[in-house]
Amino acid sequence: MNSRTLLRRGYTQISDLGRDADKHDNSKYVNDPIHGYINLDEQVLQLIDTPQFQRLRHLKQMGSSYFVFPGASHNRFEHCVGTSYLASEVVKGFAQRQPELGIDERDSRCVTLAGLCHDLGHGPFSHVFDNEFIPRACPGMIWSHEEGSEMMLHHTVDENHIDIDEGDIKFIKQLIRGSSQPVGDEKMFLFDIVANKRNGVDVDKFDYIQRDCYNVGVNSSYDFQRLMLNSRVIDDEVCYNAKEAFNLTEMFHTRYSLHKRVYSHRAAKAIEFMLVDALLIADPILQISQSITNPHMYQSLTDEIVRDIERSPAPELREAQDIITRIHTRDIYKFVDEYILPADMASIANSTCINEAKIVGYRSDNDDFVERDVLIDFCLIHYGMRKDNPVDRINFYSKYNTAEKFPISSGLISLCVPEKYEERIIRIFTRTPSKRGQIQGAARRLMEDLSSRIVASSPSNSSAHITPNRGLTLPNNLSLSPVKKRRLDFSM
């Protein structure tokens, strides 16, 4: 490899690679498609080279999106390695540019390991597991993958006899959880690096946005490296150069765009429903949900659970196997309709106002679909801080005074910014494709009735009306009979 290539990878001179190797006899370099050559020191390798961390190689970063976007084959493993690298680089940058911060070796080590271990607790198909499966498998239980990460961190350290101080483990767990309030005697700005609860600007987003865009083939219009270089700590908070205000706006827009175009893709959501159905059927037999409190069981729980279901001879899993076969043969649940709710109607986006039974209640005389045919998705997409503009929560500094922090209103960044920063979407799907037209008609009658009732109860809310999207209207003569497969003729 020539010197020009290495310089593009981030080295200041060609001798850096060799010099770093001399300093860290037990370190390794890996070539990452996003960040170039990454140095993995001995402490990081102690955790990576464990069965618990290697498990992340078998968890798709983008869950069910991989069934729709063939390039989305990357896993939690490389995302965690990339996040760890960026966390380390941010801390090193602050230590070099601002030695008065008193960043010590413990601070650097714990932030780096927090970046490495922040997703240790993800389950099969990533957010499908904790956002969709667990709430239905364990009603009333509040559990997140961050809790799983804390459990698996302890388990990894104990099972592999890794020498980490108990106080450091506690600090790493706090960094993974994130905090917008002071935590003991720890430096508050360190909590802005991996899981930033103040404004959402953190290395986790830097890595997953860039990595997901790269693998899916979506262009990213912001530059996270500029953000890392143009940041400094003021009053125990990570702040950014004022010239990076639009760059940050673009970062949050890119996040929104990924959620809108990729993570919430209709076909990906349909397959997500199918995966959850299969897992729920298999749960009593395979005890999937019980693993979230048992690290030994959780260690073996990956996306491979689908293959375990397929291979099982248990007759109780026949229905789950049929659902998985439908995924493989692309006989997936079908999207029916969607409604982007006006702000005045956001209150109806819940299972009390809109549910399967209510849609069934609006059937016409000739309709024969039942509740089991209907699926409802309450989708919330935002810029990262719900209805607020996250950039409003960021503090900046001027190159003329790097000791003073201040906010910049969105109107001073650009006039071409959104009026709203979140949208609530109600999407209807069906397990039975032949019933799409019936379900769409009933759902639209329900939504029209809800709109009329809201306007009648509050005439000032005249804008609270849902207009069906004509582009989604199904024709009356729509035929969804299965396509017969022809045998290919290779005789010629």
Strands 237-241 and 334-340: unpaired
- Determine the pLDDT at residue 30: 95
Q: Do the beta carbons of residue 309 and residue 278 sit within 8 Å? A: yes
Residues 6 or more apart from 279 whose CB is under 8 A from it?
124, 133, 137, 288, 305, 320
Q: Structure pTM?
A: 0.89
**CA 1 from chain center: how many Å?**
35
* Burial of residue 285, with CB atoms counted within 10 A of its CB: 0-12 exposed, 13-18 middle, 19 or more buried: middle
Measured from the Cβ of residue 402, the count of other Cβ atoms closer than 10 Å reads 14
- Determine the pLDDT at residue 182: 81
The whole-angstrom separation of Cα 376 and Cα 351 is: 9
Q: Do the beta carbons of residue 326 and residue 334 sit within 8 Å? A: no
The whole-angstrom separation of Cα 127 and Cα 130 is: 5
What secondary structure, in 3-state letters, does 263-332 show? HCCHHHHHHHHHHHHHHHHHHHHHCCHHHHHCHHHHCCCCCCHHHHHHHCCCHHHHHHHHHHHHHHCCCC
Please, how many CA atoms are within 13 Å of residue 321, restricted to the half-sphere of its CB? Answer: 12
Give per-residue burial for 241-275: e unless 16+ CB within 10 Å, then b: bbebbebbbbbbebbbbbbeebbbbbbbbbbbbbb
**What angle is formed at CA 377 by the lines to CA 373 and CA 381, rounded to 5 degrees?**
165
Q: Do the beta carbons of residue 349 and residue 436 sit within 8 Å? A: no
Would you please indicate which residues are annotated as catalytic (active-site) residues? 145
Q: What is the pLDDT along the chain (492 residues), one digit of tens a residue?
A: 444 444 444 444 545 555 554 554 688 999 999 999 999 999 999 999 999 999 999 999 999 999 999 999 999 999 999 999 999 999 999 999 999 999 999 999 999 999 999 999 999 999 999 999 999 999 999 999 999 999 999 999 999 999 999 999 999 999 999 988 888 889 999 999 999 999 999 999 999 999 999 999 998 889 999 999 999 999 999 999 999 999 999 999 999 999 999 999 999 999 999 999 999 999 999 999 999 999 999 999 999 999 999 999 999 999 999 999 999 999 999 999 999 998 888 888 898 999 999 999 999 999 999 999 999 999 999 999 999 999 999 999 999 999 999 999 999 999 998 989 999 999 999 999 999 999 999 999 999 999 888 877 776 665 667 888 999 999 877 665 555 556 666 665
Give the residue among 491, 141, 66 at the shortest CA–CA distance from 293. Answer: 141
- Long-range own/partner contacts, residues 174-182 (CB < 8 A, 24 or more apart): 175/110, 175/111, 175/114, 176/114, 176/117, 176/118, 176/146, 176/149, 176/150, 177/146, 177/150
The token duo for 4 is 């020009």
Helix (H, G, I), strand (E, B) or coil at 256: helix
Which backbone phi and psi does 119 adopt, to 5 degrees? -115, 20
Give the residue among 287, 303, 259 at the shortest CA–CA distance from 129. Answer: 303
> What's the farthest any 2 CA atoms get from each other in the chain?
79
